[in-house]
Structure 1
């Protein structure tokens, strides 16, 4: 394995059909494509093993330079190759599921010569079931048919193809104005009627019609130099949203490393319920109420169990609960980063913060006018009652440490949030609940955290009881309303985090304690957004804006960002693109826009109405009981 066998993580673009996604490298190679769904086994996985994983590449035969862009406000990707002889563009997309009349199980690749003459090579190496299934390839009238154990693909080609073993190759020359289409028809779409040009036009129309619109008055809370970055983040979130269930994947990939050559490689093709509160806030303020509602109703359905203890931290995008973690030992991993994992054993952990995040989302939807029916309220009441029972027990925490359960401060605070929002919902909505008992427990948790979670010697809220480690989740305590931003303990915590966890003014580590795993990791993009939010809501708006703009410089040229950034090199680390990173960008832009005088389309964001920001009147906080 050589590093140059693997493009940088940030070099990739992503396309998808609201059921699955494909990563496209700058050299025109589709290096990752699970099928038929995001969490399904891969057809191409060169991003995880350059030799064994499989790919579908279309690129010039001569040396070239690359420019890439998304067609404005869409998820249709254009890769332009410049050679000495001319320029050609490859346009990649899959029709959004259920949104056009064209089959969603076809990867369309349009080749067009913009200038001069360009010779191109086609190289198809399918490797079904993470390259575990035996692959057979044979000629077919329209191109080449590849079959594995359960899946197959038909490459519909305008040129003659050569087949050697399980590899398909071909070459073609294009001159100015020439256009050709290659269609990778996956299982179920081999014989579907297709009109490539119409599929492209309808896909472009769908995405552009769906993307954020500032409205007729032109006043947008996201106004600023970052507006286009916010729209791209919105389009990423939509791309990661499953059309059928409404669930939003944390990322479209598995096992892209947080530490090159290390073991911190996880499968993120699932939905973490902890993302719910801030996700709903982002979606509602972007004006995508349908997506927010679908996501809300999806995770509410997951809470139907009579026993709230059965609620998992994460689920498959169809609600699957069995996410057994396994290792693909035959894959070397991205740049030798092994193991390559599928599934995620964090689904079996106790993560008490999850309940608070669920209640944040319920409260956010309620504030936007979504009433709870009696059955939904019964589920919420059961969750809040359960939190009363378990809040003082240790858990694995938001960061899913594998070194043993502890009394994490953030988990305690989020248990407080579950009760706090439960009381507010019951009071506002007139729902039946033991509000007096809930309030008593809420006050007990608060007192416990203030006594054991804040360390006088450290001068900050720490990661866990008895620890002196700092944790970036301390930045969220005022945003969720636990204490106001003007509280000395909050100011001291922000200062301590800035001194200890922040590098170069914008890169924020998650924590500085032991997590039971070897190796290091990069700065966590979402934590950088939390830091921006905390600065802005503490009255340091100009400073927050400057740091936010610096962070945005690390988005790739397509506007995409991974889970983490290496502060030394600026390289992206972890799974890509990361939903939580893009959610953080949307919410940071929301806070900055609000504090700069723009109105949000709905209620004030939670950090405004609950955190009592410095510089805003106290009436901005609407504690409701």
Structure 2
């Protein structure tokens, strides 16, 4: 088995509503956590090829491989070609099925793998090497064979109070072996044309299915994803069709976003992985398996844009409930079940992806002061309530509490959107979102005839506005900057100024800012860095995927549609062959870095597509009220005018 680290674009992802696995083009599952994606790993070879554990199925002979999704699904096919033949491996995580033989409530806590000979003969090596609790727990393996003449068998792995059951069919026998890193079960199977072999890994349950029943699971899972996507397309109108060149990217992004939505709570994780480095060999390695409040506005917009209305409503309820808590208790991020006690620790026994230490679990940013979260919540409510049941009294009480909180703290420094851990400053983006909280609060009071301390809010809103314009804009640079008291620091978040309607897109300060970002922060292909010349942290050699889509949106609002479309098209070229995007992109090599796949990148892609579609007047079958009030056909979904 290959023990080298793979590039991220060698991975596909599979999953269901609360679990995600990364599957390499070599047939190895290198990342999987059970029972949910935020729980501890059972396979973590992506973080340590020796100790992490994997479930690998790889041809014995030299081979070429390619991956593709079964059309319009999250079911992954890996095709391998050797000199002696061709075979296909189909990987899936099953969806809920109420009918027999799938009665077990934990039926989704599983991976199913189908090996099928397509031509000639292909022999596979199989390695089942679970490592519980991020490879911290001792693992034991036991082989259970079927009755004589029966082609069924099972391996039971135990550790840290958990169990994995590997069921298999076909001419496949396993042996146990062990070394200092723990035990593993290995076996071989040879497939001739037309032969099949099923394997399934089940967490904390054991349901033995026949090959015929496994086929039913596969067919049902394929049908589920296609029916779900059909519903999205019916709701989203012509968004998926406005340009055939973008259709595949939009469909894949919608399917990825669905994988990252926690079915039980509606929360959305930023990514299903931890500690994939922003820069190889450095220590900027974070756990992204949490829901960030700052993502709310863009997430809701994307969910509605692609027709995920049920998911949008559920997500809105999730962060709406958070907004009902005391403002000073609101955190920048939460666990996917709403957990607030999120510590951070390092796993020093793991080498890290490509030896980038440390490996972290948990995220200490949960305790940071980030003032943008208040505006994000108010904006999310502002954009959503008219599509639901309007603004409730409880909502209004929360809006009042959040706006009053902003009045008290907006002129204090904070950690900023990029979570600078040791450098609190007056970040322009934080001030902008404080302005948004008050501006949208005032508008909600007007729209829904609620009473509140509007005079105070209007006074503080104007004070924030004047403060940003005086201290956050540099006349010499002709651009907004990252934070106050700087002559050089630039930040991609300034692109949000027209998106949040702080200034109209045709304002000379907005246009100067966009031009400065293009000149100083953007590669020829349209990749945008998060910040440059910042006193808070050294410049990064990698670009941040979402920032390129913010640039697209700002250009569209400016009427610079050709530039926007060129950048959008160029950025899509950096996606993996399967259409997946990570957090960061190395502009010199095109290599994807950071946690993968990244919800923010795919959310940005979906939202930018609607900006472009509306600019090209290709959203004619969307309801008129969904195109924004007063902005005409060039406005994206949910966009509103604020104060000028």
- TM-score under structure 1 normalisation? 0.94
Tell me what 2:128 maps to.
124
| 8 Å CA contact 2:236, 2:307 repeated in 1 | no
**Cα separation, 1, equivalents of 2:173 and 2:318:** 47
Quote the offset at 1:403 in angstroms.
2.8
Q: Does 1:104 align with 2:122?
A: no
Tell me what 2:189 maps to.
172
SS at match of 2:173: coil
| 8 Å CA contact 2:525, 2:571 repeated in 1 | no
Quote the offset at 1:422 in angstroms.
1.0
Structure 1 stretches of 5 or more lacking a match? none
Tell me which of 235, 259, 281 is aligned to 1:239.
259
Quote the offset at 1:333 in angstroms.
0.5
Tell me what 1:272 maps to.
292
| 8 Å CA contact 1:267, 1:342 repeated in 2 | yes
| 8 Å CA contact 2:472, 2:480 repeated in 1 | yes
SS at match of 1:357: helix
| 8 Å CA contact 2:240, 2:250 repeated in 1 | no
| 8 Å CA contact 1:526, 1:584 repeated in 2 | yes
| 8 Å CA contact 2:501, 2:643 repeated in 1 | no
Tell me what 2:149 maps to.
none
Taking structure 1 as reference, are residues 605 and 497 closer, same or farther at Cα in structure 2, changes over 3 Å only? farther
Quote the offset at 1:464 in angstroms.
0.4
Segment drifting more, 218-227 vs 424-433 = 218-227
Quote the offset at 1:543 in angstroms.
1.7
Tell me what 2:163 maps to.
152
Q: Does 1:182 align with 2:199?
A: yes
Quote the offset at 1:376 in angstroms.
2.4
| 8 Å CA contact 2:614, 2:633 repeated in 1 | no
SS at match of 2:411: coil
Taking structure 1 as reference, are residues 396 and 303 closer, same or farther at Cα in structure 2, changes over 3 Å only? same
Tell me what 2:219 maps to.
201
| 8 Å CA contact 2:526, 2:548 repeated in 1 | yes
**Cα separation, 1, equivalents of 2:240 and 2:214:** 38
Q: Does 1:223 align with 2:242?
A: yes
Tell me what 1:56 maps to.
55
Quote the offset at 1:121 in angstroms.
1.0
| 8 Å CA contact 1:281, 1:605 repeated in 2 | no
Tell me what 2:427 maps to.
408
**Cα separation, 2, equivalents of 1:97 and 1:412:** 45
Q: Does 1:262 align with 2:282?
A: yes
Taking structure 1 as reference, are residues 356 and 621 closer, same or farther at Cα in structure 2, changes over 3 Å only? closer
**Cα separation, 2, equivalents of 1:392 and 1:420:** 16
Quote the offset at 1:517 in angstroms.
5.4
SS at match of 1:503: coil
Tell me what 1:86 maps to.
85
SS at match of 2:376: helix
Tell me what 1:95 maps to.
94
Quote the offset at 1:622 in angstroms.
4.5
| 8 Å CA contact 2:529, 2:540 repeated in 1 | no
Taking structure 1 as reference, are residues 169 and 603 closer, same or farther at Cα in structure 2, changes over 3 Å only? farther
**Cα separation, 1, equivalents of 2:633 and 2:96:** 45
**Cα separation, 1, equivalents of 2:351 and 2:626:** 44
**Cα separation, 2, equivalents of 1:88 and 1:98:** 28
For residues 568-599 of structure 1, give each alpha carbon's deviation from its aligned partner in whole angstroms, at most 9, with x where no partner exists.
00000100000000000001101000000022
For residues 509-568 of structure 1, give each alpha carbon's deviation from its aligned partner in whole angstroms, at most 9, with x where no partner exists.
000144655783410000011111112221111121111111101111111010010000
Quote the offset at 1:98 in angstroms.
6.9
**Cα separation, 1, equivalents of 2:97 and 2:497:** 41
Taking structure 1 as reference, are residues 255 and 603 closer, same or farther at Cα in structure 2, changes over 3 Å only? farther
| 8 Å CA contact 1:523, 1:565 repeated in 2 | yes
SS at match of 1:110: strand
Quote the offset at 1:603 in angstroms.
6.2
| 8 Å CA contact 1:486, 1:613 repeated in 2 | no
Tell me what 1:507 maps to.
527
For residues 352-403 of structure 1, give each alpha carbon's deviation from its aligned partner in whole angstroms, at most 9, with x where no partner exists.
1111111221111124344132222212221111111111111001000123
| 8 Å CA contact 2:502, 2:642 repeated in 1 | no
Quote the offset at 1:97 in angstroms.
4.8
Tell me what 1:136 maps to.
140
Quote the offset at 1:329 in angstroms.
0.3
Tell me which of 584, 598, 602 is aligned to 1:578.
598
Tell me which of 507, 520, 523 is aligned to 1:487.
507
Q: CA RMSD in A?
A: 2.3
Alignment of 1:299-314 (within 5 A): 299-305=319-325, 307-314=326-333
For residues 312-353 of structure 1, give each alpha carbon's deviation from its aligned partner in whole angstroms, at most 9, with x where no partner exists.
000010001111111000011011100110001110101111
**Cα separation, 1, equivalents of 2:110 and 2:501:** 47
For residues 589-616 of structure 1, give each alpha carbon's deviation from its aligned partner in whole angstroms, at most 9, with x where no partner exists.
010000000227356779x768x79989
**Cα separation, 1, equivalents of 2:578 and 2:390:** 38
SS at match of 2:303: helix
| 8 Å CA contact 2:174, 2:186 repeated in 1 | yes
**Cα separation, 2, equivalents of 1:33 and 1:515:** 38
| 8 Å CA contact 1:283, 1:291 repeated in 2 | yes
Quote the offset at 1:460 in angstroms.
0.8
**Cα separation, 2, equivalents of 1:419 and 1:217:** 31
| 8 Å CA contact 2:164, 2:202 repeated in 1 | yes
Tell me what 2:44 maps to.
45
Quote the offset at 1:96 in angstroms.
2.6
SS at match of 1:5: coil
Taking structure 1 as reference, are residues 519 and 465 closer, same or farther at Cα in structure 2, changes over 3 Å only? closer
For residues 180-228 of structure 1, give each alpha carbon's deviation from its aligned partner in whole angstroms, at most 9, with x where no partner exists.
10011111x2246672111111111111111155449974375111122
Quote the offset at 1:157 in angstroms.
1.7
Tell me what 2:373 maps to.
354
Q: Does 1:368 align with 2:367?
A: no
**Cα separation, 2, equivalents of 1:487 and 1:518:** 31
SS at match of 1:420: helix
Taking structure 1 as reference, are residues 575 and 100 closer, same or farther at Cα in structure 2, changes over 3 Å only? farther
**Cα separation, 2, equivalents of 1:623 and 1:99:** 48
SS at match of 2:498: coil
Q: Does 1:162 align with 2:175?
A: yes
**Cα separation, 2, equivalents of 1:157 and 1:118:** 18
SS at match of 2:200: strand
| 8 Å CA contact 1:161, 1:170 repeated in 2 | yes
For residues 22-73 of structure 1, give each alpha carbon's deviation from its aligned partner in whole angstroms, at most 9, with x where no partner exists.
1001100000001111111100000000000000001111111111111111
